[in-house]
Amino acid sequence: MVHRVNRETYIVIGCGHFGHRAVQALKSLSPSPRVIAVDRDRNQLRAVERRADQVHHGDGIHYLAGLPESQAVSYWIVPALPLHLALEWMLYTLNRAGATYKAERLPLPKAFNPRKVLWQHCTPTGTFYCSLSDFTCPDDCPEPEEYCYVTQQPRPTPLYLILKEITCAGYHSLVVRSRIIVPGVGGYPFADLLTLRSFLLSNEGNYLLSTACTCHGIAGAISIFAKEKQEK
């Protein structure tokens, strides 16, 4: 189901194939929203600078972390790079100088095994990519909620719920849901990351942290604790 938030600001992180298409698709909306494109590669930025309202050369995590949160709370993030953006942002912002809490990346527990996943890949650093599809989805998929757009077969349980319902001893599972903004382009409100961070700061422990839409997702593990406890 398409979730349109026109007249808003969308931040596209990564301007390769998917990011380039995201910028084009978002700017085709009427009324046209404000689109900011961020990438480390100047050549990638040049390919979108005529369509994007603003381009920023640099690291996407650092860019997001540098935004005034009172302003950015209304923005949407469109991840378009092979990185667990939510987890990396959490690690970076919680470990900044002067922070009273510390976040550490953990290996995924051996019991982590999402059901019904047709494709999965785990990197050496513990980032877990997964999908309910074992084929390349079309660029214009509108992500219907209850069935596959390509096969027309039913999908009674979306991936974001599958990941949320995972139980592993010693871990709590949290999921940031990605929503389709235009067919083939998904993202989540910056406010969801801020809300999640506030929850983690009030609830120390080990977490399985995922972002996922109906069919595709990325997961990792993280530990949150007060620095004073580590020092003791």
Q: What is the pLDDT of residues 15-29, one digit of tens each?
A: 999 999 999 999 999
3-class secondary structure, 182: strand
DSSP 8-state class, residue 8 = S
Q: Is the pLDDT of residue 4 over 60?
A: no
Residue 157 within any structural domain of the chain: yes
Mean pLDDT over 180-203 rounds to: 95
Residues 9, 68 contacting (CB under 8 angstroms): no
CA-to-CA dists, residue 185 to 206, 208, 214, angstroms:
31, 25, 13
> 141-161 pLDDT, tens per residue?
999 988 999 999 998 899 999
> How many domains in the chain?
1
pLDDT band at residue 31, thresholds of 50, 70 and 90? Answer: confident
Residue 158 within any structural domain of the chain: yes
Name the CA radius of gyration of the chain, rounded. Answer: 18
Bridge partners (DSSP) of residue 221 are: 106, 208
Task: Give the pLDDT score at 6.
Answer: 46
Q: Is 111 left (phi over 0), alpha (psi -120 to 50) or beta?
A: alpha
Residue 3 within any structural domain of the chain: no
How many Å from the N-terminal Cα to the C-terminal Cα in the chain? 49
Residue 2 within any structural domain of the chain: no
Residue 141 within any structural domain of the chain: yes
On average, the pLDDT of the chain sits at 92
What single-letter amino acid sits at 161? L
Residues 15, 44 contacting (CB under 8 angstroms): yes
Residue 13 within any structural domain of the chain: yes
Residue 95 within any structural domain of the chain: yes
Instruction: State which residues form the domain around 24.
Output: 9-231
Residue 4 within any structural domain of the chain: no
- Tell me, rounded to whole angstroms, the distance of Cα 133 from its chain centroid: 18
Q: Cis peptide before 31, with omega less than 30 degrees from 0?
A: yes
As to burial, measured by CB atoms within 10 angstroms (0-12 exposed, 13-18 middle, 19+ buried), residue 59 is middle
> 54-88 pLDDT, tens per residue?
999 999 999 999 999 998 999 999 999 999 999 99
